[in-house]
Chain A
Amino acid sequence: MSTQTELANQAAALAVKAQEVALLAQRAAEAAAPMAAAAQPFLLLLTIFLMACFVGYYVVWSVTPALHSPLMGVTNAISSVIVVGAILAAAGAESGTARFFGFLAVVLASVNIFGGFLVTRRMLSMFQKKKG
């Protein structure tokens, strides 16, 4: 009889402990949730970044060595896609300083965009096959 009550008491004590653990876990989960939520988009960006590295790797190995100079011209031009960030900064009206930096970045990046694509076009127009 006494053993039964003892067991029951122990079970009750365990139940209380389990409840406490559950509560702790819940708190931990609540605390971790924003972190996980923040990590989610970063992991997505990181995935895309790594995939793009692989695409770049295979595409660039297929470039013929004769066109390595135009390759530098093109990559130079497209890396100026940073202009997207510059435009967002220059357009945002919140801070004059940011607008100023954004404007400077727009100017520098567009020198590259136009210069890069045009000089590449000039180079490529020279590569001609043997006539006849």
Chain B
Amino acid sequence: MTTIATLAYLAASVLFILALRGLSHPETSRQGNLYGMIGMGVAVVATILNSGMDFGGFVLIVAGLALGGGIGAVVASRIQMTALPQLVAAFHSLVGMAAVFVAAAALYSPQSFGIGEPGNIKTASLLEMSLGLAIGAITFSGSVIAFLKLDGRMSGAPITFANQHKLNAVLGGVLLLLVFLFVLTGSPFLFWVIAILAFALGFLLIIPIGGADMPVVVSMLNSYSGWAAAGIGFTIGNLLLIITGALVGASGAILSYIMCKGMNRSIINVLLGGFGSEGGAAAAGGGGERAPVKAGSPEDAAFIMKNASKIIVVPGYGMAVAQAQQVLREMADLLKKEGAEIKYAIHPVAGRMPGHMNVLLAEANVPYDEVFELEEINPEFAEADVAYVIGANDVTNPAAKTDKSSPIYGMPILDVEKAKTVFFVKRGMASGYAGVENELFYRPNTMMLFGDAKKVTQEIVQALQR
């Protein structure tokens, strides 16, 4: 490794840190993304120049970059913003698989990285290699399952069976034993056995986790992909990989933490899975006599909102499913003309990945300074005339504050109940993901607007135009 290459890697690391730093504000974020691209360019060019490759190798690498880059560019420009979570999951799986392949290349050609000869690789490098391999393989298969669940190609319902966690624990133990044997022997056979077991483990770890817990899973796999890159960095002694892997690993870990806090659940609880699988809790629902639910028409809603001066919109995953963000903004524009002030309230776990709702609203040209986080907006519900809840449920349920026996007890919620009138746009009376009934539906100041989120909002827009 020449000094110039090392300096180029250092420059790339700094540019990557600046790319993350830029995301502290939308104004600086585009600049940050550019820094990231430049950093990656510097890293790739420095590596090619420094590798002393022959012409054939150069052609091979340029072909690989062009092929992969072409696919990536096409996918990134065509993808719908509602499909973002599954795209990110798919991308994570690729990082995981790339880590597996680089580990394999290091096993068959250790001299390329200066870590020994085939069949005689340094012990420390074997350990690092097997860790990079195992984390990469778990990232791959786990992300594939997350992708299938998010994309609706596989049921989002948790898949559980007897002794599931024992099986995972045994598999984990066997994996550790195999890593130990591999470090002692350096056998390619054991290498591939570790790969297969790690693939199986990644698969088994993610299948019991339900659809709405996916924000945590996606964040966690984001973190894993970073640790896999760092593991490979240790194997081949590359500073840039180690630094970048640590940055990504830390980022994913923080996002997982924020998502867990948004649900008041521990990461262990999420990972053990099975949440929201039993329908039993929904039936219990507190019992007792209930006031009848008040259902309204879009015209009623339009009339009330026309006369409102402050409206807070609470979007949830249902809005994304119905693709209602555009028409929602149209409704907001009309209401603004009537003199109302519109704000949007985003719960940390709304949607299927961190920040999902913000991107969808931005796509519909909602200015980001009208969109607020839970802590910022909660004090304002008391002075709001209307809370318009579209495709959200559990995140508004006051049982999280009052009912100690509720599975969502302790979860921070949006205080929509304090608004003068609450509209719930929902397809039916079904309970939310947590399987808990929402007592807000039965409050006298609540009006249910039954139907598809997009259709109902469309009808309100029509009524407002009349």
Contacts and interface: CB of A to CB of B under 8 A. Distances in A.
| Genuine A/B complex | yes
Interface of A: 38, 41-42, 45, 48-50, 52-53, 55-57, 59-95, 97-99, 101-131
Nearest to A76: B91
B304 interface: no
A29 B111 CA distance: 28
A76 B77 CA distance: 16
Contacts of A72: 88, 218-219, 222, 255, 353-355
Contacts of B345: none
Contact of A95 (B32, B101, B109, B254): B109
A124 B251 CA distance: 18
Contacts of B229: 79, 81-82
Nearest to A113: B40
22 contacts: A45-B234, A49-B230, A56-B20, A68-B354, A72-B219, A72-B354, A74-B33, A75-B248, A81-B40, A83-B43, A85-B106, A86-B64, A89-B112, A99-B105, A103-B64, A106-B65, A110-B68, A111-B91, A116-B91, A118-B73, A119-B79, A121-B33
B313 interface: no
Contacts of B21: 59, 62
B33 A120 contact: yes
A54 to B, nearest CB: 8
B252 interface: yes
A94 B44 contact: no
A116 B226 CA distance: 14
B144 to A, nearest CB: 13
Contact of B48 (A70, A87, A93, A117): A87
A117 B51 CA distance: 25
A81 B241 contact: yes
B61 interface: yes
B104 interface: yes
Which of B72, B353, B371 counts the most chain A CB atoms within 10 A?
Answer: B72
Given A110-B64, A110-B69, A127-B26, A69 B355 contact: yes
A49 B225 CA distance: 15
Contact of A102 (B101, B124, B254): B101
Interface of B: 12-13, 16-17, 19-21, 23-26, 29-30, 32-33, 36-37, 39-40, 43-44, 47-48, 51-54, 56-58, 60-61, 64-73, 75-77, 79, 81, 84, 87-88, 91-92, 94-95, 97-99, 101-102, 104-109, 111-113, 118, 122, 124, 218-219, 222, 225-226, 228-230, 232-234, 236-252, 254-255, 258, 346, 348, 353-356, 358-359, 362-363, 365, 367-371, 373
B102 A127 contact: no
A128 B365 contact: yes
B248 A122 contact: no
A26 B57 CA distance: 47
Q: Which 5 A-B residue pairings sit nearest by Cβ, starting from the closest?
A: A110-B68, A56-B250, A68-B355, A92-B112, A98-B109
Among B77, B101, B346, residue most surrounded by chain A Cβ atoms (within 10 Å): B101
Contacts of A103: 60-61, 64
B264 to A, nearest CB: 17
B234 to A, nearest CB: 6
A62 to B, nearest CB: 5
B60 A99 contact: yes
A49 B94 contact: no
A115 to B, nearest CB: 3
Given A76-B222, A130-B370, 9 more contacts: A55-B247, A63-B24, A74-B33, A82-B232, A101-B105, A110-B64, A114-B73, A117-B33, A118-B77
Contact of A101 (B43, B95, B102): B102
A53 B249 CA distance: 8
A121 to B, nearest CB: 6
Contact of B88 (A64, A73, A86, A106): A73
A117 to B, nearest CB: 5
A48 B72 CA distance: 31
Nearest to A130: B367
Contacts of B237: 41, 45
A73 B353 CA distance: 11
Given A53-B250, A56-B247, A88 B112 contact: yes
A23 B392 CA distance: 77
A65 B76 contact: no
Contacts of B359: 69-70, 123, 126
Contacts of B51: 87-88, 91-92
B53 A77 contact: no
A69 B358 contact: yes
Nearest to B102: A85
A98 B112 contact: yes
B76 A60 contact: no
A94 B94 CA distance: 26
A53 B67 CA distance: 33
B190 to A, nearest CB: 16
A59 B356 CA distance: 21
Contacts of A82: 95, 98-99, 102, 228-229, 232, 241
A83 B79 CA distance: 24
Contact of B246 (A52, A65, A97, A113): A52
Contact of B57 (A49, A56, A90, A108): A90
B293 to A, nearest CB: 33
